[in-house]
Amino acid sequence: MKIKNIILTMALMGCSTLAIGQTVEQRMDSLQLLIGQQTILHLKATARKGARIVLPSFKPQDQIVPGVEVVEQRKGDTMQMGDDRIQVSRDYTLTSFDEKVFVVPALDVKIDGKSYHGNPLALKVLTVPVDTVHPNQFYPAKGVQDNPFEWSEWSFAFWLSLLMIIICGAMIYLRNRLKKNKPIIARIRIVKRVPAHEKALREINDIKHHHTSASQETQKEYYTQLTNTLRAYIVSRFGFNAMEMTSGEIIEHLRASGDQKMIDELRMLFSTADLVKFAKYEIPMNENDANLVNAINFIDRTKTDEQPKEEKIVPTLSTEDQKSQQQRRLIKTLLWVGGISVVAIFGYIVYQVAMLVM
């Protein structure tokens, strides 16, 4: 009588559950596995649309029952079932390292705060049988496998090596070109600019010390050097080409400077010089000294306040020299680029070969 009452009660509960439309299903992919293998536990809960369904949650290495471990818990999935019902499912990856038959209990599912359960399952964990009585049946470890050559694995490294060889050849060619194309060295000279009056006075002082005799030949050389020094000074000081003019033309150009006594003394000096050079006229020693003094006075009266200074003189390169310099710069740039490329390619080839060999 009691058994009949229990069966009737369970039937009524099942009918009520179906009537409400709330069910829980629990199953496993495999109920038997070897130690360390894995199986998946599927848990599904169906309820009316809008119901709040909470599936059990486990962290990795949590145990559902002692000996059965959760490896991974996947995200839940919700699906519309029609007739205003939804189904929420979740998968659990299980494993075990004990040889035993485990009872996986029905997991607790909350639907609108009430607990619902699926059906418990049995999980049998087996070990690998080892025959220790007949060890000769086991074979020793095999040797290293000799894998066949695959061109597809080595082709990229081969073509890179070929490219590196071509770049090296081009670099050798450019290096030889660079040796043949000698550099154009444009030396910058620093020249000290001496004022015209200082240069002229220095030359007159040298003339005075080198010409102490009064012979005809020495007087001719004396006046030639003295007038040439004055002409060069006039060119630098007054800006007209006194080197190509006669004495009279020089005097006419100098009249614009003003001092008539100075002009007369300079005319006398040039006239005396012409007589000595062309008419072989001999001049007394004291008159030579007087003409030298007149030349010095002329320079002192007409000199400027210019001071000595240094100037940098940069030589002007020809068009061919400029092209040569541009070619050298281009060749050096290509050599640098080629060297960096060769190093990079070689490093990459070594890396690729090491990866293939390992």
pLDDT digits (tens, 9 = 90+) for 200-250: 888 888 888 876 655 556 778 888 888 888 888 888 887 788 888 888 887
Distant-in-sequence contacts of 217-225, Cβ < 8 A, 24+ apart: 219/276, 219/282, 219/283, 219/288, 220/276, 220/277, 220/280, 222/276, 222/288, 223/272, 223/273, 223/276, 223/277, 223/291, 224/273, 224/277
The model's pTM = 0.36
Question: In angstroms, how far is CA 64 from the centroid of its own chain?
Answer: 58
pLDDT at residue 20 is higher than 70: no
* Fold classification of 21-126 (topology level): Immunoglobulin-like (2.60.40)
Rounded CA gap, 305 and 237, in Å?
A: 12
SS3 at position 25: strand
pLDDT at residue 27 is higher than 70: yes
Output the pLDDT for position 18: 41
Contact 195, 308 (CB under 8 A): yes
How many Cβ atoms sit within 10 Å of the Cβ of residue 127? 11
Lowest mean pLDDT among 9-13, 22-26, 312-316, 320-324: 9-13
Lowest mean pLDDT among 23-27, 28-32, 181-185: 181-185
Output the pLDDT for position 214: 52
Around 350, how many Cα atoms within 13 Å sit in the side-chain half-sphere? 6
pLDDT at residue 19 is higher than 50: no
Phi and psi torsions of 36, nearest 5°: 90, -15
